[in-house]
Structure 1
Amino acid sequence: MTTPIKLYRNPKSGHCHRVELMLALLRLPYETIDLDMANGAHKAPDFLAISPFGLVPAIDDGGYTLADSNAILVYLVQTYAAGSHWLPAAPRDAAEVQRWLTVAADNIYSGPCAARLVKVFGVPLDHPASVQKAHDLFKVMDAHLQGRDWLATEAMTIADVAGYSYIAHAPEGGVDLGPYPGIRAWLSRIEAQPGFVGMATSPIPELA
């Protein structure tokens, strides 16, 4: 592979960061293209040709375009690391990965992601409800991570990549990670991986 994969993104989006993190962990060459979303760049005709719903992230891999962060994770691993620990083929392991991808799209989105959208981007959502959903999720996750290193299997998978960004940045949304040692240790393990790249940070609000 010689041509870098183009990643269209907002640099403070956790959805975009999970794709960049996967690209970095796989050591794939890529270039980031930051969209001026405040001025509607994500609704421009040339970008809608890549991402029909006008959403980031989206990639262009040698002319193949794809939007949706979790779909992109599957594509990257199946294309460039097929048969690896990132996306196991064994039915039970594959099901566990899918379960946590669903958590990323549902519980993480409506919990720590939504809380951060309020504090960082000013999106008019119910912040107290989002914080409560985040803590409800984190209690389950923290218990799940007791005695294990990774979410889905005995090795790191795309489930861990999909979950990392918004949970690591939950404090930016006013969600305290202090009560969750299992989650904090899990985050540290991800951050210790060769090739790890972080996401742009925002000021952390005062916790009530």
Structure 2
Amino acid sequence: MTAPILYNYDLDENCYRVRLVASCLGVALTLHGIDMYPGREHLGAAMRALNPAGRLPVLQDGDLLLTQTEAILMHLAEAHAPTTPLLPQDAATRARMMDWLAFCARDLGVAAQARTCAMLDAPGDAQALRASARACLRLMEDHMVKQGIRGCGFFAGPAATLADLALFPAFALSRDFNVDHDEFPALRLWARRVRRLPGFITMPGIPDYH
């Protein structure tokens, strides 16, 4: 079977999400490097033919082309590792996982914007983006405090799911836009647990210790 092709930029947060999930699932990817910065290759005609929105990641798996991060993560699990514990079979746990995946897609994008604004001079109000990202992390922190009281170490329950891997980069990379991790002790503990998952890989910018 031919490995899925990931159109990838190593420093892109969403591309890292896909690489991380694939590694933890044991799914091999063929990486096709895209020069986002400074080359802006993701906005060129060839990439817009794959994703008219001009965004990464893009996954090509046979005849299937996917351009939304959370859809890519679900596809990799369901099509290539359907028995993985990262994809819970319990309906309630899966629903909680999907809820946090939706939070990642809808709300946590502001963290990636804050990071690219701070590091790569992307347009935006750096202070406002940082404040919005910190508010999202505070919601995550409060949830993990409650999870700790329930005896659960991960977002959807006692075991890691795809949601934990999807949420991890926003917190792990938040120091790039001057968010102090000491503000979020429950997330620091959770991040350590994520780092111990089989197949975990890192990326530039993620500190070795949380």
- Normalised to the residue count of structure 2, the TM-score between the two structures is 0.86
SS of the equivalent of 2:60 reads strand
The RMSD of aligned alpha carbons is: 2.0
Where do residues 58-207 of structure 1 align in structure 2 (5 Å cutoff)?
58-110=58-110, 112-146=111-145, 147=148, 148-201=152-205
Deviation at 1:198, TM superposition (A): 0.8
* Letter in structure 2 aligned against 1:56: L
Aligned counterpart, 2:11 = 12
After superposing the two structures, state which structure 1 stretch, 42-51 or 152-161, moved more: 42-51
* Letter in structure 1 aligned against 2:26: R
After superposing the two structures, state which structure 1 stretch, 128-137 or 151-160, moved more: 128-137
- 1:22-51 CA deviation, whole Å, 9 max, x = no partner? 111111111222212333422344333332
Which whole-Å CA distance do the structure 1 matches of 2:43 and 2:72 have between them? 20
Aligned counterpart, 2:51 = 51
Gap change, CA 1:136 and 1:43, over 3 Å in 2: closer
SS of the equivalent of 2:7 reads strand
Deviation at 1:83, TM superposition (A): 4.5
Question: Contact 2:5/2:31 (CA < 8 Å) preserved in 1?
Answer: yes
Gap change, CA 1:43 and 1:155, over 3 Å in 2: same
SS of the equivalent of 1:39 reads coil
SS of the equivalent of 1:49 reads helix
Question: Contact 1:58/1:65 (CA < 8 Å) preserved in 2?
Answer: yes
Gap change, CA 1:194 and 1:86, over 3 Å in 2: closer
* Letter in structure 1 aligned against 2:62: G
Deviation at 1:89, TM superposition (A): 4.1
Question: Contact 1:59/1:66 (CA < 8 Å) preserved in 2?
Answer: yes
Gap change, CA 1:144 and 1:40, over 3 Å in 2: closer
Question: Contact 2:25/2:84 (CA < 8 Å) preserved in 1?
Answer: no
SS of the equivalent of 1:190 reads helix
For structure 2, list consecutive stretches of 5 or more residues without a partner in the other structure.
none
After superposing the two structures, state which structure 1 stretch, 172-181 or 123-132, moved more: 123-132
Gap change, CA 1:140 and 1:47, over 3 Å in 2: closer
Which whole-Å CA distance do the structure 2 matches of 1:151 and 1:29 have between them? 26
After superposing the two structures, state which structure 1 stretch, 100-109 or 46-55, moved more: 46-55
- Normalised to the residue count of structure 1, the TM-score between the two structures is 0.87
Which whole-Å CA distance do the structure 2 matches of 1:198 and 1:129 have between them? 28
Which whole-Å CA distance do the structure 1 matches of 2:133 and 2:43 have between them? 30
Deviation at 1:202, TM superposition (A): 8.2
Which whole-Å CA distance do the structure 1 matches of 2:141 and 2:27 have between them? 31
* Letter in structure 1 aligned against 2:181: L
